[in-house]
Structure 1
């Protein structure tokens, strides 16, 4: 039988041979399976455990619509430990290992990604390469080996694999699988068969397993917004995370699954994120990282070199990229463990925490009346019971010293104004009882899927999603400051020229409210300051997501013509309302009209394109539009590809016409209006395209390739589309 689980995820079960295949494994798939009853709790021989899949079918590509398709870490953990498939003498252990099914490339990638998810850095040499001394590296390896029960195991020791290339391939017990075309498979058993299509539709997203609603969050001087209290198994709440607000800036602490949905629920757009602090690389804290790569700027990435190295190893496996790619997406800021680093008034100190992978907890503080105000984010800590069980004074054996344990207890119990702690229990998480006598002013208990017990409730508080702990209340209007900064970055004019515009009212829109409707003569122009707005093209043919900094209704306001698009809030939105006559006066007085008009046509085309639409702000769109050159080609004309130096290379967008891209390997690809080509580059190891042949008269918009790939979201989309095209061409 076949069951639709959620977008891009299916369940195929062959009861005769006890085979249950999870088809598709984007983040939080296990939560979906649990929610609809495909994972259940059972008891046998006095042992309580879970049911679930025993095989995973992977997508042919790592990314779809800029989201990870294959994140089998938690499904694999669920099979190995929660079902007991690897535990000796467990009723769930039937003598077979879980199966990973897919192309050779994706199976290999998943094996490495799961390996890095289990262990992070796996040798003294890798730890020293990340900056540790030999003594420190040896100490970390002793901890790792203790968590790993004395041995770093290859993924092949835990999981079996079936590689699907050409023709029918045996899975097991007369069950066969065949790839019909890219990402479409047929699974057969005797005379029965089902077809599985893992392709997402255009603009379709993987869905979260929980509903969050919408929240209006004030930008504060120093505050913590609770964006996740659950763990990687909690079907009702996001995994443990926080949004840190400091002097109006927004920072994330970890980026777990569904981070885009979480941010939208609290009215924050990707463009508003200043940086992310990474605790470690387990999926429930890491899986949303591609969402942060979908920005039009490099978001700051704060971590110790050891955590960053662990994250890069895992991300490299998922994307099939080399380790140096990370700096193309993030502005890396290395933090030193056990020392405070000042970040424009905010001080942060990472403290190393014992865990199977490289992990730090964070303490944030800033000076205020009477001293510091402080917040501690203690994700994935070890309980005192587990730490004590690891004690050995033999430095040649896995474990830790008594002195190390006493030091960790003291570090965990540091007194702060606000502290969020992991109480998930088990072998690798914390325990609330360890903080019974903690002197911090407020304790938040997190990282659990269980209801708090009466004893736990006596120790610490819970925190509902979307609530905030304000450590220092703001007496300023950060929205107005943001409006000023946005406009100053757009227009090269004196400050005083902007004051009439900035004196406009800051207005709010509820989620799902139409701000401007196509065909309306709108009386105001809006500068988006917070939240997300959906731009819907005529007849609903396409949509584009806009974030803070976008000006909407500008052309209509300047020309007096009806608006040709609909704009709709997808979260709580705040915007600066600008009177058209004031804006017109500002534009005319500063001789900006011709420039705005000239850019508007090219920018409008970019906004409608898949490559340059979502999450690209007004000033970046303008820079791209300013660099565009229009070229015309006749039938039969050929454009040579793949030989340009990177500094001379151009990216081509088809405004009108029909083009065939021919590959050196022999395949080809047909492209039409709105498509782009020229993405091949030796920088990505992508050099297979030979030439583009015009089959009609063609109008192309071209722009510098280097300018395009310096935009993180564009770079990510280019990597995604290139790999799709290679598969299609072959």
Structure 2
């Protein structure tokens, strides 16, 4: 019988088990990995010495890169918590507390980043000075630190006291008990024990994603005046439901509360495109409320980030520790709007009040209200709260001791009990979550109990109700069709010079809904309609490459086939339930002709279609941004052996791509036809083909860049045609920014390993 067992869990994630050596290795660790392991039976509940606890991994092998295909590959916070607490490794007198610690193994860069990310995930801000720098007064910081230390049993513990680590290189390194590992190549490892060996490949293929652990039903969501969509009622361990979250609709606009794992999948099931999100209200930095932040960067604009300065600072430190980047980078991806504690702030007509909630990391709960005929309608979102029992145990009359005073307890309790028309409460229990019984006398009209993986008890059901994914509570109904408003805004972006009566001509065509999976256009089909996507998203398949990408709300589908009368070059289908403005192709051609738009649209056609075929621009970049980039593109033919320096701060002379020959301009290059070799000195570290890209890192990435390497060049092995784009054009498109950073890190890693 084989001594090593290897099981594929999901794309890019494997389980390697050497039972004889008591070693269970989780290889790859994206969001919600613990849930996948439970579903596969690789985490089980067992009993020993009268104690019930979970089995699971005791070692995590990290991906060489943090991000693959715009998703986090390394999110170890919850798997490490599962080892420490649910397996019992850190619990005193537990039968599974043998002195063995969880272990992280991988490259030095990733191990270091994960240790710091876990540290910030455990504690948030770790000193009074950090709290004061984030805006707290000295007295406030003192009180908060006493609460934090009470949760932390009196000590802020560095990650290396809780977790072991091994740096893996290209030679055999012992993990434990005679099990060895070595790095074969990029993201590929060999694990050996005695005379047996297995290999694991942590790379995601082109177009592959990390699958969510649950399937949710597709929904059509009406855009109301003020409504709450229940988009998550579970916790970080719930196998069947997303983590506690909500979606707010106010005057048709979409806001989300928190960004848990697999948030993009949840939004897709709700028929919401990521580009429809106006902003996020963020409660705190624990992974079940935080891990989806990078998914939300998958848009072509920075969306608004709302939290108190304390929460925003803690989130920034954790995200930047995870990504090994400087903290000012946070504003490259989000439009920051700080909110004061305990005050109502107007957010485009919706009023919001954040309130401090005691928790191991900085946390604010939220109250939202909107004025209506009979007064304010209030929604309260209480994640994560602390139970009365835990808070009472914190009470002390000694000002030198960690904890809270009796007066602070009463203030916290009063804020929790503020009445609302709808209140969603964390009832996860334990040391850091709430208890439903504490809200038995709450005067709110409706209470929803959430943040738990367990069914509600009969006693809990006397206090509040559960809520299924996609259920909607309408606090103020609408008498306005916001879909018409959205369609008008999109058309105005497309055709800024068209008159209102011409736009109304297009708007008078029907708005039609399609179910998820519906085909809108088939490859080779002559379209009868042009579709303006109003809500949701549409996927399309590249006929030549076989890859598929996503078009967000606001996109035109069949745009060129419609006004040129051509056959569709790709197949388009609804990735969720969608609404579209359905315009007959004949009507659309008449509109183009009357407004003399043909020559203008024709001029950009080739460039836009090319951009949509690339990985860099083909996913969730809307037409207005594509048009801006397309206008700046220059097509230039270069001879073989032409060289372009990369990864340098220095300007290079005789820049052939600059509009005026100015060497100051930093350019992004996309291959239109031909090949490009990336070389460090004389060693080739990558070969790029049509639609691949290089350059632009000096301007776009700025302080993300950690290396200033000389002797790295892009060399043309044969005559090649390139599109050149001034890098500043793309600086404010977050998804392009993000993909450039992901690609830059992979190439730097390849160069670094080649140098080593």
| Both proteins in one fold, TM over 0.5 | yes
Q: How does 1:441-452 map to 2 (within 5 A)?
A: 441-452=445-456
Report matched runs for 1:70-149 at 5 Å: 70-149=74-153
Deviations 1:343-396 (A, max 9, x none): 111000000000000000000001001100110000110001111010012222
Partner residue of 2:8? Answer: 4
User: 686-695 vs 316-325, which deviates more?
Assistant: 686-695
2:675/2:690 contact within 8 Å kept = yes
Is 1:215–1:572's contact at 8 Å kept on the other side of the alignment? Answer: yes
| Residues 664 and 419 of structure 1, relative CA distance in 2, 3 Å threshold | farther
| Mapped contact 1:220–1:474 kept (Cα < 8 A) | yes
Question: What is the SS of the residue equivalent to 1:113?
Answer: helix
| Among candidates 701, 705, 708, match of residue 687 of structure 1 | 708
Partner of 2:657: none
Match of residue 655 from structure 1: 672
Equivalent in the alignment of 1:58: 62
How far residue 544 of structure 1 moved from its aligned partner, in angstroms, is: 1.1
CA distance in 2, matches of 1:391, 1:154: 27
Correspondences of 1:217-228 after superposition (within 5 Å) = 217-228=221-232
CA distance in 2, matches of 1:662, 1:55: 36
1:687 is displaced (CA, Å) by 3.2
1:39 aligns with 2:46: no
Mapped pair 1:184 → 2:188: yes
Q: How does 1:342-353 map to 2 (within 5 A)?
A: 342-353=346-357
Query: Tell me, what secondary structure is at the counterpart of 1:459?
Result: coil
| Range that drifts further, 487-496 or 439-448 | 487-496
Structure 2 CA distance for partners of 1:664 and 1:339, relative to 1, 3 Å: farther
- Mean Cα deviation higher: 298-307 or 635-644: 635-644
Aligned partners of 2:651 and 2:273: how far apart in 1?
Answer: 36
Q: Which residue of 1 aligns with 2:425?
A: 421
Tell me what 1:625 maps to. 630
Runs (4 or more) in structure 1 with deviation over 4 Å come to 664-667
Structure 2 counterpart of 1:389: 393
Q: Using the alignment, how far apart are the partners of 1:362 and 1:94 within structure 2?
A: 42
CA contact (8 A) 1:631 1:702 kept: yes
Separation in structure 1 between the aligned mates of residue 542 and residue 28 of structure 2, nearest angstrom: 31
* 1:265-314 Cα shifts (integer Å, max 9, x gaps): 01001110100010000000000000111110001000111001111111
Distance 2:240 2:715 in 1: 52
Q: Once the 2 structures are TM-superposed, how far is the Cα of residue 587 of structure 1 from its aligned partner?
A: 1.6
Partner of 1:518: 523
Query: Once the 2 structures are TM-superposed, how far is the Cα of residue 467 of structure 1 from its aligned partner?
Result: 0.7
**Any conservation in 2 of the 1:61–1:723 contact (CA below 8 Å)?**
yes
On the 8 A contact 1:602/1:625 being kept in 2, the answer is yes
Counterpart of 1:604 in structure 2 is 609
1:171 lines up with 2:188 in the alignment: no
Partners in 1 of 2:678 and 2:111 — Cα distance?
A: 29
Asked whether the 8 Å contact 1:22–1:56 carries over to 2, the reply is yes
Confirm or deny that 1:194 pairs with 2:198. Answer: yes
Alignment RMSD (CA, Å): 1.3
Query: 1: distance between equivalents of 2:557 and 2:541?
Result: 12
Q: In the aligned structure 1, how far is the partner of 2:681 from the partner of 2:732? A: 27
Shift of 1:582: 2.3
| Gap change, CA 1:218 and 1:357, over 3 Å in 2 | same
Q: Is the 8 A contact 1:664 1:688 kept in 2?
A: no
The CA distance in 2 between the partners of 1:410 and 1:680, in whole Å, is 51
Q: Is the 8 A contact 1:647 1:706 kept in 2?
A: no
Q: Among residues 710, 716, 724, which one is paired with 2:732 in the alignment?
A: 710
Q: Deviations over 1:33-55 (max 9, x none)?
A: 11111111111122111111111
Q: Given that residues 632 and 697 in structure 1 are in contact (C-alpha distance below 8 angstroms), is that contact kept between their aligned partners in structure 2?
A: yes
Residue from 501, 523, 536 that aligns with 1:496: 501
CA deviations on 1:168-211 (whole Å, 9 max, x unpaired) are: 11111111001000000000000011111000011111011111
State how far apart, in whole Å, the 1-side matches of 2:461 and 2:725 are. 59
Q: Are 2:253 and 1:249 aligned?
A: yes
Moved more, 33-42 or 244-253: 33-42
Equivalent position SS for 1:385:
helix
Q: Sort the Cα spacing of 1:350 and 1:664 in 2 relative to 1 into closer, same or farther, 3 A.
A: farther
TM alignment of 1:156-167, pairs within 5 A: 156-167=160-171
Note the 1:211-222 alignment, pairs <5 A.
Answer: 211-222=215-226
The answer on whether the counterparts of 1:233 and 1:449 sit within 8 Å (CA) in structure 2 is yes
- In terms of mean alpha carbon deviation, does 43-52 or 538-547 score higher? 538-547
In the TM superposition, what is the alpha-carbon distance from 1:688 to its structure 2 partner? 2.5
Aligned to 1:671: 688
Structure 1 length as normaliser, TM-score? 0.98
1:166: how far off?
Answer: 2.6
Q: What residue is the counterpart of 2:436 in the other structure? A: 432
Shifted more, 475-484 versus 682-691: the winner is 682-691
Q: Are 1:233 and 2:237 matched, yes or no?
A: yes
1:722 is matched with 744
Aligned to 1:644: 651
Q: How far apart are the structure 1 equivalents of 2:184 and 2:597?
A: 55
Contiguous gaps of at least 5 residues in structure 1: none
Cα distance in 2 for residues equivalent to 1:75 and 1:59: 15
Indicate the residue corresponding to 2:326 in structure 1.
322
Counterpart mapping for 1:548-587 below 5 A: 548-587=553-592
Query: In the alignment, which residue of structure 1 is the partner of 2:659?
Result: none
**Could you tell me whether the CA contact under 8 Å between 1:25 and 1:70 is conserved in 2?**
yes
Deviation by residue 1:549-577 (Cα, 9 ceiling, x = unmatched): 00011111111121111110010010001
Question: Aligned pairs, how many?
Answer: 730
For 2:524 and 2:679, the matched residues in 1 are separated by 42
Q: Separation in 2 of the partners of 1:235 and 1:666?
A: 47
Q: Matched residue of 2:697: which SS?
A: coil
Aligned match of 1:406? 410
DSSP-derived class of the 2:462 partner: helix
What SS is found at the alignment partner of 2:490? helix
Q: If the length of structure 2 is used for normalisation, what is the TM-score?
A: 0.95
Deviates more, 1:213-222 or 1:684-693: 684-693
Structure 1 distance, partners of 2:675, 2:568, is 30
CA distance in 2, matches of 1:647, 1:369: 59
Indicate the SS of the match to 1:187.
strand
User: Greater shift after overlay, 679-688 or 588-597?
Assistant: 679-688
**More divergent stretch after superposition (634-643 vs 468-477):** 634-643
Contact 2:326 2:703 in 1 (8 A): no
Q: Describe the SS at the equivalent of 1:538.
A: coil
Matching residue within 569, 592, 605 for 2:597: 592
The 1:627–1:96 alpha-carbon spacing in structure 2 relative to 1, beyond 3 Å, is: same
Q: Retained in 2: the 8 A contact 1:665–1:688?
A: no
CA distance in 2 between partners of 1:105 and 1:637 (Å): 34
Residue aligned with 1:434, SS: helix
Deviation track 1:193-238 (CA, whole Å, cap 9, x = no partner) reads: 1111000011111011111121111111100000000000001110
